[in-house]
Chains A and B, each alone.
Chain A
Amino acid sequence: MSPLALSFWIALNATILAVLVGLPIAWLLARRSLPGRDLLTVLVLLPMVLPPTVLGYGLLVLLGQGGVVGGWAEALGLGRIVFTRTAAVIAAFVASVPFLIRSAQAGFEQVDPTYQEAARTLGRSEIAIWLTVTLPLAWRAVLAGLALTFARAVGEFGATVMVAGSIPGRTRTGSVAIYDHVQAGRMDEAGMLALALVVAATGALLVLTRVGRGAGW
């Protein structure tokens, strides 16, 4: 896979993972009665403020052969995680999921709780209410969060290099390839890739802005 295609493939998988893990967390955080809410909020924010190398180091410790997750995966016969595409997806996921959680949480909190109360008196369970009332009413914020998450995952560099390395065709994403090209003095190749990423990001942000304004596609 070319570095750009690899970037998008990894970002897509990281975004799917973010939906599965991030949306339930956003839902929990939007409930004011949640115990330990402040601590969870801080944990969610950490990947946004820590240097990517700290995330990368943490992931190496966790996913490496002596690590908790790494050792467990190997025991299950799943093989090594570090320096694989899986590691790149996990790095992109960890770095980008806070964007989805923050945006979706804000969206869920803005839904008038009277709608949820009405749904309760109509006999619906909390999970059904989330799926049929909260999520549809907060879709704009969720979509904005998804776009930011995807864009951040495409641009992920620091943590990816540390846990996935730069193996051509396997883990060398667009942003990693730019770094390699510059290191090797291939400024033209670096420039082409950089331009492609700028164009892709501009497109994504334009769509995001229009959706946020309610202008639709």
Chain B
Amino acid sequence: MTLDVAIHSRVGGFELDVAFESSTNGITGLFGPSGAGKTLTLRHIAGLERADSGRIMLGDRELFDGAKGRHTPARERRIGLVFQEYALFPHLSVNGNIAYGLHGRHRDERARRVGELLELVGLEGYGERDPRSLSGGERQRVALARALAPRPELLLLDEPFAALDLRIREGLRDALSAIQRHTGVPMVLVTHALEDVRALAHALVLLDRGRVVATGPTRTLLDTPPSPEAALLIREP
């Protein structure tokens, strides 16, 4: 399956004009400095923003077509999103958060699925906890479980490690990679940290100031940047 994005939008003084195609097997990294438009691009894919023009396709599903005036609302896209600060519902338990997207399922099925996900993210026994009582790493895993619960066709992650201590990032990167392989759900990861890209992303989209600078397999792009501009973006700090 491929994710095909070609959109143009102007909000305030910021112009987003991105086009890329990515095979959605494994993890695709959206990498660039702050203000590159990474999060905004992710929000367009999720359906939380509506572009002025362009097209977004996921496999053969048309999610957005500016010319035809079509915009599939976020709730119908079957695309999960892990927000930067996780946005766990503070009035619901961990179980309640994970079960939130499982509305309409039978109670037993919901409980089974929540149990499965708690196990997947290594939080068995945490179901009754108040999300506000959890550590940053635990919250991130609850957010991941919540987004995966309704079996999305694509999972978007917005800087999932930015709010975390450097010490625990490595362990969580390994966990995310394992979860991706286990579930097979393709992921798009927004990050401004090169080590995230190197550890997780098979393919890379380099963004800067609202435009795509380069795309390609991570290894190739990092070893032989196709342009001086791309080289500058992936330069070690």
Q: B48–A120 contact, CB under 8 A?
A: yes
- Contact A115 B87, beta carbon cutoff 8 Å: yes
Q: Is B87 a contact of A124 with CB atoms below 8 Å?
A: no
Contact B103 A124 (CB under 8 A): yes
The answer, among A120, A121, A132, A133, for a CB contact under 8 Å with B147, is A121
Within 8 A of A (CB), among B72-128: 73-81, 83, 85, 87, 89-91, 100-101, 103
Task: Look across to chain A and name the residue whose beta carbon is closest to the beta carbon of B46.
Answer: A121
Which residues of chain B come closer than 8 Å to A118, judged between CB atoms?
81, 83, 87, 89, 146
> Chain A: which residue is nearest B84 at the CB level?
A114
Kindly state whether residue B150 has any CB partner on chain A within 8 Å.
Answer: yes
Instruction: Digitize A127-160: 1 where CB-to-B-CB distance is under 8 Å, 0 elsewhere.
Output: 0100011001100000000000000000000000
| Chain B residue total in the interface (Cβ 8 A) | 25
Complex Cα distance, B127 from A28, in Å, reads: 35
In whole angstroms, how far apart are the Cα atoms of A114 and B76 in the complex? 18
18 more CB-based (< 8 A) A-B contacts, given A118-B81, A122-B147, A123-B103: A119-B100, A120-B73, A120-B75, A121-B74, A121-B75, A121-B81, A122-B149, A122-B150, A123-B78, A123-B101, A123-B150, A124-B75, A124-B100, A124-B101, A124-B103, A128-B103, A133-B89, A137-B90
A88 to B136, CA, bound (A): 55
A133 to B91 Cα, complex, angstroms: 8
In the complex formed, the residue of A with least CB distance to B73 is A120
Q: Is A125 engaged at the interface, CB distance under 8 Å to the other chain?
A: yes
Nearest CB in chain B to that of A135: its residue: B91
B79 touches A121 (CB 8 A): yes
State the CA gap A125–B73 with chains docked (Å): 10
Q: Which of B89, B147, B149 has the most CB of A within 10 A?
A: B89
Whether the Cβ atoms of A122 and B90 lie closer than 8 Å is no
Contacts of A128 in B (CB 8 A): 103
Nearest-CB distance from B80 to chain A (Å)? 6
Residues of A88-128 whose CB lies within 8 A of B: 112, 114-115, 117-125, 128
Give Cα A120–Cα B103 distance, bound, in whole angstroms: 12
Whether A121 lies near B80 (C-beta < 8 A) is yes
Which chain A residues lie closer than 8 Å to B91 at the CB level? 136-137
**Chain A neighbourhood of B85, CB < 8 A:** 114
A contact patch SS:
helix
User: In the docked arrangement, what's the CA distance between A80 and B79, Å?
Assistant: 56
Expressed in whole angstroms, the minimum distance between the Cβ of A98 and any Cβ of chain B is: 27
Chain A to chain B contacts (Cβ below 8 Å), 20 pairs: A114-B85, A114-B87, A117-B48, A117-B87, A118-B81, A118-B83, A118-B89, A120-B47, A120-B48, A120-B73, A121-B74, A121-B75, A121-B79, A122-B75, A122-B149, A122-B150, A123-B150, A124-B75, A136-B91, A137-B91
Classify chain A: how many residues form its interface, as a range: 10 to 19
A124 to B150, CA, bound (A): 11
Contact with A along B25-66 (1 / 0, CB 8 A): 000000000000000000000111000000000000000000
The distance from the CB of A207 to the nearest CB of chain B, in whole angstroms, is 22
Question: In the assembled complex, how far is the CB of residue B232 from the closest CB belonging to chain A, in whole angstroms?
Answer: 32
CA A59 – CA B134 in complex, angstroms?
A: 55
A122 near B87: Cβ-Cβ < 8 Å: no
Do A122 and B146 touch (CB < 8 A)? yes
Expressed in whole angstroms, the minimum distance between the Cβ of A196 and any Cβ of chain B is 38
CB contacts (< 8 Å) of B81 on chain A: these are: 117-118, 121
What's the least CB distance linking B178 to chain A, in Å? Answer: 23
Q: Which residues of A contact B48 (CB under 8 A)?
A: 117, 120-121
What's the least CB distance linking B40 to chain A, in Å?
A: 13
Q: Known contacts A117-B74, A133-B89, A137-B90: does B83 contact A122 (CB below 8 Å)?
A: no
Does the CB pair A112–B75 fall under 8 Å? no
How far apart are the CA atoms of A115 and B91 in the complex, in Å? Answer: 11
Chain B hits for A123, CB < 8 A: 75-76, 78, 101, 103, 150
